[in-house]
Amino acid sequence: MKLRVAVPVVVAISVLFAVSAFAADTPGASKPATSSTGTSKPPATKSTSAKSTSKGTTEKAAAAPVDSLARLEKLVAKDSTNFDNLYQLGVMYLDKERTPEATRVLTKAASIRPKDVKTLVNLGAAHDAGGSAALAQGYYRKALEVSPGDSVATCRLASSLYAQQNYKDSMALLRKLIADKPRSHCAYFTLGVAFADAGLYRDAIRAWQKVVEYAPDSPEAVSARESIEVLSKYLTGQAN
């Protein structure tokens, strides 16, 4: 049973994740009807050639001009060995949910730079979007081999494992990530989705509040704020 909140449901069974700060919430008889503004596709990430604010994380790609896609396609057609162009085109395809093209182009980019973490994570995301979870998880694990403890790769892997109903391993990954990086907004975002999916709405709100606190300008914080508002209204309605 899934809760259609303003973010993708990517992990579940929150009781597998022991966080003393979050008290269990009793699920109501019915779940809130909410808008689904998020997608199951994780945010695309910038190339490693771009400056990063912190090590071991990935960033949301900036909105591209309308003509950028056609321009990049021409550049890649002219020179299919340019990593930066391949990567940017793959990210753009992923943003536009053109999964087969994203997979093809990012695979080529990964063949040129097989240890580029952001390429591996986005290639995993493309395979997840295409329904190839085993391949996706393989690329997330490769990213973690290159950059152990990478927050986004860990969260993506946890999400993918959940989709395969491997709740124990997905929660173990998140447990270790928060232990190692207590301010990992990615982990709290994913944890909040788990709580919401389990019907633990107040706990979900608390987890998403951590996202807003730790990374107020992140794409996850945008979704977290929307979901907090939706669930808060629902809980208020249940109390009346």
48 in any annotated domain: no
Q: What is the structure's pLDDT at 165?
A: 86
Asked if pLDDT for residue 59 goes beyond 60, the answer is: no
The range of the structural domain enclosing residue 203 comes to: 14-38+64-239
- Annotate 83-151 with DSSP letters as a single string: HHHHHHHHHHHHHTT-HHHHHHHHHHHHHHSTT-HHHHHHHHHHHHHTT-HHHHHHHHHHHHHHSTT-H
> What CATH number is attached to the domain comprising 74?
1.25.40.10
Give which of 205, 206, 149, 158 is closest to 180, Cα–Cα: 149
Report how far residue 87's alpha carbon sits from residue 72's, in angstroms, rounded to the nearest whole number: 10
Least confident of 15-19, 60-64, 99-103: 15-19
Tokens of 60: 């949301």
Least confident of 23-27, 37-41, 134-138: 23-27
Least confident of 18-27, 203-212, 220-229: 18-27
Amino acid 73 reads E
204 in any annotated domain: yes
145 in any annotated domain: yes
156 in any annotated domain: yes
Where is pLDDT greater, at 195 or 48? Answer: 195
126 in any annotated domain: yes
How many domains are there within the chain?
1
Report how far residue 176's alpha carbon sits from residue 181's, in angstroms, rounded to the nearest whole number: 8
Average pLDDT over residues 164-187: 93
Q: What stretch of H or E contains 165?
A: none
Where is pLDDT greater, at 163 or 46? Answer: 163
